[in-house]
Chain A
């Protein structure tokens, strides 16, 4: 027989299934919720259900949204000739924080990871290819509307494999394919950069 009341035990078991939540953390959160007033607990439960009920993928860019198309795809002020390809929907927020990028996005929902058995078929690549079939308004030569694809996948082995795969796929379509710059993080010191990071920084240097 369990030492803990069944509803509390069930809550702890459910919390333990969340990422980064172990037995101790689950116990702490469960007791916090037990002590909280009913309104707070209900607000949390409703927020979780709301996420599951109302959120879906944008039919154009696969961003997570409550309206389809998402606010980026629906915004007429954004540059439709430019698409930034990211691994996950939360990566969009990082790019948006720069307040410099005015183009559209495409979310792959992952990266090619041979060691985890994740291949190109499991990513949202087909919908990206479909977007490139859209021709520029008034273009009689069938020129695609999209002129540049920025590959903003993570600068690690999986992100690089994904970028290499996409580049091979996209270049024959006559679209400019670029990769985000890599190198030394702002605020750090060159002295502590490893040789790969330094090499990438040198390769991506620009004229002043």
Chain B
């Protein structure tokens, strides 16, 4: 089989045998693949930091007939997240969530240029020093939207009325709090909400609507220093992802414990 050369993000790795690793990587040109990296666990294995999660790499790999795993021939760093991840514990947790969502949500061998570009933008913002909560929320919002799970942010899923009926300013600044639940596909107004639903604040919905229209690098970082900022929006987005994936993301628990 011919060697494929691609631009990729490493999503995660698993140890294999004495000194090898299996790398899961998302390529721009061919989609998500898993490949064996021989000798990658050795100090002089030749991979260096190239196989760390979310490293942007140039990777060469080849497939063999009837084999699910590819063999990685070469992997060179384009940009690394090691410095950003090691600077701060919250950032390293946020990056783990980003990698896990991409790994679990994207099907194998299916090209997804939009997700690849989203990762490029989000990780660049992290490297520039933006507090992790902004790029993480933006990433989750767009992953949910690109996957087609994003609820209607303006209409009640139960009664079909506008969630902000009576508010006429455009863009709407004074949005009403709404309600969500892991079992519900959409948002509900206060009249249709039931016990056990969580509240999505007015601020969270305003930020979500802004993320629909504004590129990440145009969103100011002010106010994003605290994990409390848009925490309800992140919870809502992660619940939507988990409801569709039908399992709990491993990294989410640690992020919420912070």
Contact = CB atoms under 8 A, between A and B. Distances in A.
Q: Specify the main secondary structure of chain B where it touches its partner.
A: helix
B244 to A, nearest CB: 19
B17 A20 contact: yes
Interface string A114-130: 11110100000000000
Interface in B66-96: 76-77, 80, 82-83, 85-89, 92-93, 95-96
A41 interface: no
A192 to B, nearest CB: 7
Interface string B142-170: 00000000000000000000000000000
A160 B49 CA distance: 12
Contacts of B18: 20
B108 to A, nearest CB: 18
A116 B12 CA distance: 10
Contacts of A188: 44
Contacts of B52: 156-157, 196
Interface residues of B, number: 35
Nearest to A196: B49
A161 B54 CA distance: 14
Contacts of A163: 86
A114 B76 contact: no
A187 interface: yes
A71 interface: no
Given A115-B99, A185-B43, A196 B77 contact: yes
Contact of B92 (A161, A187, A195, A196): A161
A114 B93 contact: yes
B253 A117 contact: yes
B82 A160 contact: yes
B100 interface: yes
The listed residue with most A CB atoms (<10 A of its CB), out of B46, B48, B77, B250, is B48
A168 interface: yes
B92 A193 contact: no
Given A114-B255, A117-B253, A195 B85 contact: no
A160 B76 contact: no
A164 interface: yes
Contacts of A114: 92-93, 96-97, 100, 250-251, 254-255
B254 A119 contact: yes
Interface residues of A, number: 25
Interface string A136-168: 000000000000000000001100110111001
Contact of A115 (B50, B82, B100, B257): B100
B250 A193 contact: no
B22 to A, nearest CB: 13
Contacts of A196: 48-49, 52, 55, 77, 80, 82-83
Interface string A41-69: 00000000000000000000000000000
The listed residue with most B CB atoms (<10 A of its CB), out of A114, A165, A188, is A114
Contacts of B46: 192
A199 interface: yes
17 contacts: A20-B17, A20-B18, A114-B97, A115-B96, A116-B250, A157-B92, A161-B93, A163-B86, A164-B86, A168-B89, A194-B48, A194-B50, A195-B77, A196-B48, A196-B49, A196-B52, A196-B77
Given A114-B254, A185-B43, A194-B50, 12 more contacts: A114-B255, A115-B53, A116-B250, A157-B52, A157-B82, A157-B92, A160-B85, A161-B85, A164-B86, A164-B92, A185-B44, A188-B44
Interface of B: 12, 17-18, 43-44, 46, 48-50, 52-53, 55, 76-77, 80, 82-83, 85-89, 92-93, 95-97, 99-100, 250-251, 253-255, 257
